[in-house]
Each structure stands twice: as structure tokens, then as C-alpha cells.
Structure 1
């Protein structure tokens, strides 16, 4: 079977599925903006394409998102048509439509089956909208209209798709019924043989950090440090946390950019804004126990989770981070926000502890309670890892389910 993958940052969510399909003998090709030259990756032929240069133009701000997606879709259309002219006709197209690239592929290959990776449908209702009033200001009615406009891309994709796949029930359930019925919930998968407890783990980073399981390590991880992932809540809780735990080392991982939500004022970063807000409340001696690592290699990230005594995870009602499941797989004791996506994997005092997203005092109380209770940490960490192994293990659970989903997409009558 010929399979075409579409992802602006390939492999992305196809990191494990694409190589497996190639290893099974399928002819796998990917179109992506990520590479500049044709390359082969784990049996997949990866082809580049580029975006055209566009002149600035006046456009309604609610249409900026769609304009960007149509630009990408047109560029991908030209690359797809060139690929068709070279003789490649896919039986199956697997696409992440979030950036728009796959919008016109049915026009190139009308008989191909199409399976979409359904990451999120933007709801215009609470708590998806106005969950955090501090960063969601302005006219509420206009905000709802703007959010509805963001779903134009989804609605352009729905009619052409044969099926969808979504990693969590929360994400799948954001989609309207007319497409939700075609979405299967299957997670991308966690490699529990790599993300696993290690009592001998030790993390050493140059001369700034040297910690092991013998140290009181509190971890907080985001792709980028921003309000959508509760960075502001964590930082505002930090002065009290440091005072209460004079021997703790707080290790924070994440970049300075914005992945989701509101952008900071021009020339600033959310990271520095909240450092500046709390720094005067923290002594120099305590601040020396706070370590910002930026973005780190994956093996460093895994070792960090393995030495963590308490891992803090906060998020708006939004896409669930892989990092939470990886921390659970490493057997970390979790304190997390009591928000809908988190409740899918964290049960109160079952696989972790839950706190109100905005309650910094409750966050500190729960972290300190776990730091004082090694038996509770061990119990929660063991249960968290067991849940990930039972429901999200990459090779035993998720990849077999994904392969079955591929078969089902191909078997569905057109």
C-alpha cells in the first residue's frame, strides 16, 4: 500500500507509526516544511516543499489564521500535484490538518482514503474560552465569534475525511457530533521501556546542577513557559514553596516562545515577566535553588523525571501534554490541575493529587504533603506508571490500535 503523510513538522505524531508501516513493506512518503532537501528517515521518503513569498496585505484579523492555512494548503497542493505527476498515487493519506496543509489533497487524489489527526476543535464556550480572565480580556461576544472563525479549517477538512484519530477523549469530544462519530480515540503512545523509574538516576548539567534520587527535586515542564500551561500559577506559588522547603531544588524546563494562547507584550517573554513578578519575594539564597534549563535533550528530560520527587503539571482545558504521561511512566508523584484533560489520567489520591488550577496555596500544600510522605509518593508513582502501562504503552497498546485503525480506514466503504 502507498501511504502519504502530511505534517508541517514531520514526523510529529507519526514518529512511531510511520516507521512501523514502512517496516511492514508499505511505500511511505511524507510531505513537510521541516526539511530543505529530500531525505530518507526510517524507511520513509521525506520530501520538502516551501511556502511562497507573500506581500503584506490588509486583512481582517479574524482571517489571519485562515489566510496562513490557505497559504500552506496551496503550497502543499503544488507539491502534491508534482508528486502525482511523478507517478505517486497514495491509497491512504494520513494528515495533521492543524496548519491547513491537507486542505486540497482530495482535489489531487480523489480516490485516496484520508485519515485525519484530530487534535482540537476550538469551542467558543467556557471553559475553553475565558477560562483564565487574566489573559482572556475584551469583549466576550467578539471572542466567541473569533474562536468560531478558527474552526473554518476544521470544517473544510471534515467533508473530505474518511475517519479521524484523537489521542484523548477530551480532545475527541471537542469536535461536533457530525465528525465526532468518525473519530477513534487512540493515544500516540508512551515508550514505557524508556520512560521508566531508575533508582540510580543522576542528573548533572555542567556546574549548575547535580541531583539524584537522594535530593528533594521538584520539577515543572512545558514546551514553552506560558499561561496555558500554568507557568504563572507555578511561579506565583514559588516564593512560599521555597520558604517551606529549604532543601528543595526546583527544576523548570521550557522555552521562551508561545505555543498557545495570548502573546506577551512586544519584546518580552512570559518566562521573564513572571520571574520579575516574584523575584523580590525570594532571597538570593533561595533563588539559587531554582534552575531554568530551557529546552533539553530527551535523555536529559527523562533523567530529570526519574530524579523528580514531585512533578507539577498544570494546564488549561486543552491538549494533554505527553510530558505528564512520561512523568507518570517514570513513576513520579504528580500534583496536577483539576482540569478536564488531566482528570482523564489523574484520579485524586489514586494516580496523583489534584488542585484547583488557580489555587497556588493548595498547590504548595499538596507538594509539601507529598514531600513529607515517602509512602504516598511511592504508592501514587506506582499506580501512575501502572495506568500508563495498561492504557498508553506504545508497543503493546497504542501502536497495535493505530495499525487496526489504519486497516479500518482502508476497509470503510466510500
Structure 2
């Protein structure tokens, strides 16, 4: 089979799938991406660069749309290079998020298009307007509708779609849902597993193990979408109540979602100026290598995961697989994987004291929480395991879509 993957940040959600498909000598695999990215063995990479940025004078409803068109145009030019080389894929697997899938059918009309439908923006009921006092005005609602234009064009062109969670599936327009399967990218549960002997060396030289009272928090970047501001307010109470607690925070100072804070260079510095914590016991590691990230999880007694109603982070499922006790927000994406009191503990997103109370419950009774930890890992093994659940379902979906067969059902629950 000839397979073409398209993602502006190669490999993105195709990290495992592209590598596994390229390892099959019966496949030819190509990847279109933005700029220079690390190669994957057996994958032919073609890079693109948008011709320009959206023009400052473009109507603010359409600035996103113009950017997506520029990405789609650049993707087309890269795809034409492949076609001129004689590479015509049986199936194109393309992320819809940046406009790369908008025009790909015009280059490869004979190829099946399996679109990765990650997130469809809603002016109400999801991330926008979630925080009190941020209800969108008509301008923002109109801009949000326009922001989805590239995804609507891509979904109209797709033969089928796939999304990782049922909640994300529900955000997409009802007219397209019967052509979108729910299959997660998968968690390598053989790699993300408990390690009682794990030891984390902090920048100050201190070594933390499972014998220590370790609270962990992980996000790509420290920002409100992932509840960083709530967590920091909870830490003020945690540091007061628990003199032996050590807090390990992983994440960068950039902005992945939302916007930068006013009057501060980043959300970390803003929150440090607003709360009183013990700097000797709260450790900011920044962005870390993956193995160190796993070690952070393996020494954790309580792992905090808070999120807006938005895309569910891989890190939460990886933490569950590693045997972490999750203190999570009772928001829809989290509640799809965690049931309060069965495989984790939930609290209201906007309640810092509630977060602190839940952390107290975990740290005061860590021996009694073993069943929740085991249930958390079992949930991931049974529903999100990379090799036994997700990759087989993804491969079957690709085979069906390439063969123009209608996939059965909506994939994994």
C-alpha cells in the first residue's frame, strides 16, 4: 500500500502509525510537513513553507482562514512534487487543523482521504467562554464560525474521519459524525508503567523517590487551558498544610492555547507573583526529555491534571498508565477516562481548595489508594493500549477506507 501522511509538525498524531506502517516492506510511506523535521526510517519526507503570513489588513474574521489557505496551498505544491515523482497514494492521512487537507483531493482525486478531525471549535459549550466572565460577544462567535471553515472544507472532501475521544467526536457537526470513527492514537503501556525503584534527580541535586510525598503537574506549556492558574492557587494551600510535600512541575513558558497574560512575560511568572509558595519545595523543570517525564510520573504520589473542555492531553493517559493517582478536573474530556472514586479523583476545575483537599486525601491515605492506581492503569491497558487496541483499530480503519469499505461503528468507545 502507498500511504501519505500530512501534518505540519511531523509526526504529530502519526508518531506510532507512520513508523509501524513504514516498517512493513509491502508499504511505501511518504510524509508532507512544514519545514525541516527529523526523519522517520523508511518514510520519504517532503517539506513545505507557506508563501507568506496572513496580511495584517485581512478582516479579523478571516485571518485564520487566510492562514489555513496559505498552508493548504503550500501543501498542494509539496503534493505535486510527489505526484511528479510518480507517487500516488492509495490513502492520504491528513490532520485537518491547519488547512493542509483542504485541497489535497485536487492533487490526488483517486486517493482515499482519511482526515484526522482533532477539534471543532464551538462558541459555546466547550473551551470558549468556559471561564466565568469570558462569555463571547457576537464578534467572537462569528470569528469562531469562520475559524472552522478549513475543517468544513476538509470534512466535505474526506472519505472518512477519525478523532481520539468520543467528546471530541461530539463537537463536530452532526452532519459529519456518521463518517468519523473514534480511535485514540494509543499509549505505550509497556513503556509507561510503574517503577517502584524510580529516582528523580532535581536541578538542586536532591533525589526524589516513591518514599517522598511527591505531587506532580505536567503540561506542554503552563497556561490556564490546562488549569495552571488553579493549580498554583491550590499550591498555596498545599504548601501551608503539608510541610513535607515536594511539588514537581513540568512544562514550558510558551503559549499553546489561549493567550499570554497581560503584564507578565508568561503564566509561570504571573502566578508566582500572585501566590505564596515555598520555592524550596516547588520545582519547575521546564520542558524535559521523555524518559525524565516518565520518571517524574513514576515517583508521583498524586498527579494533578486540570483542563478546559478541550483536547485531552496524552500526558493524562500516560500518567494513568504509569500508575499515577490522578486528581483531575470534572470536565468532559477527563470524565471520559476517569470515574471519580473508581480510577481517580475528580474536583471542580475552578476550586483550588477542592484540589488541595483531594491532594490531602491522597497523601494522607496513600496505601488505601492502591486500588485506584491499579484501576487507572487497567483503564488505559484495556481501552488505550497502543499495540493491542489502538494500532490494530487504526490499521483496520486505513484498510477499510483505502478499499472504499464503510468502517463498522464509531471505533473505540
TM-score class, shorter: over 0.9
Q: Find the counterpart in structure 1 of residue 61 from structure 2.
A: 62
CA distance in 1, matches of 2:196, 2:227: 29
Distance in 2, matches of 1:195 and 1:34, equals: 30
Q: Alpha-carbon deviation of 1:205?
A: 3.4
Deviation at 1:141, TM superposition (A): 2.5
Structure 1 match to 2:71: 72
Quote the residue 1:187 is aligned against: 184
Q: Which has the higher helix share?
A: 1
Per the alignment, in what secondary structure is the counterpart of residue 21 of structure 1? Answer: helix
> Are the equivalent residues in 1 in contact too, given 2:155–2:161 (CA < 8 A)?
no
1:65 & 1:27 partners in 2: Cα distance? 34
Contact 2:118-2:168 within 8 A present in 1 as well: yes
Map Cα deviations across residues 319-360 of structure 1 (whole Å, 9 max, x no partner): 000000011001011100000000011101001010000011
| 1:397 aligned residue | 389
User: Which residue of the partner structure matches residue 409 of structure 2?
Assistant: none
Per-residue CA deviation, residues 290-318 of structure 1 (Å, 9 max, x unaligned), is: 00011000000000000000000000001
1:1-12 equivalent positions in 2, closer than 5 A: 1-12=1-12
3-state SS of paired residue (1:103): coil
Residue 42 of structure 1: CA displacement? 2.3
What is the RMSD of the two structures over their aligned residues, measured on CA atoms?
1.6
1:235 aligns to 2:236 (yes or no): no
Give unpaired runs (5+ residues) of structure 1.
Answer: none
What is the alpha-carbon distance in structure 2 between the residues aligned to residue 291 and residue 271 of structure 1?
A: 12
Deviation at 1:242, TM superposition (A): 0.6
- Does 1:152 find its partner at 2:146? no
Offset, 1:86: 1.7
The answer to whether the 8 Å contact 1:169/1:185 transfers is: yes
Query: Could you say what secondary structure the match of 2:201 adopts?
Result: strand
1:7-53 deviation digits (Å, cap 9, x = unpaired): 001111111111111222210000111417xx751211112222224
Q: Deviations over 1:162-221 (max 9, x none)?
A: 001111101111111111111111110000011000000001134344201111100011
Deviation, 1:153, is: 1.1
Corresponding residue for 2:32? 31
Partner Cα distance (1:140, 1:48) in 2: 39
Q: Tell me the distance in 2 between the aligned counterparts of 1:88 and 1:267.
A: 49
Q: What does residue range 12-161 of structure 1 map to in structure 2 within 5 Å?
A: 12-24=12-24, 25-35=26-36, 40-54=39-53, 56-133=55-132, 136=134, 140-161=137-158
Q: Distance in 1 between matches of 2:2 and 2:11?
A: 17
The total of aligned residue pairs comes to: 405
Q: TM-score, normalised by structure 1?
A: 0.94
2:316 is aligned with 1:328: no
Picking from 217, 220, 224, the partner of 1:220 is 217
Residue in 2 aligned with 1:311? 303
Structure 2 spans left out of the alignment, 5+ residues: 407-413
How far apart are the structure 2 equivalents of 1:412 and 1:264?
48
Contact 2:121/2:144 (8 A) holds in 1: yes
Once residues 128 and 201 of structure 1 are traced to their aligned partners in structure 2, the CA distance between those partners, rounded to angstroms, is 36
Q: Please give the TM-score of this superposition, normalised by the length of structure 2.
A: 0.95
Equivalent residues of 1:118, 1:166 under 8 A apart: yes
1:62, distance to aligned residue in structure 2 (A): 1.9
Check whether the contact 2:33–2:47 (CA below 8 A) recurs between aligned residues: yes
Contact 1:309-1:377 at 8 Å conserved across structures: no
Given that 1:116 and 1:164 are in contact with CA atoms closer than 8 Å, whether structure 2 keeps it comes out as yes
Name the residue aligned to 2:411: none
Partner of residue 202 from structure 1, selected from 178, 199, 202: 199
2:257 aligned to which of 257, 260, 270: 260
Correspondence for 1:297 among 280, 289, 298: 289
Aligned position for 2:160: 163
Which secondary structure does the structure 1 equivalent of 2:208 belong to?
Answer: strand
Q: 2:315 and 2:281 mapped to 1: Cα distance?
A: 23
Partners of 2:53 and 2:309 in 1: how far apart?
Answer: 35
Q: What SS does the corresponding residue of 1:61 show, helix, strand or coil?
A: coil
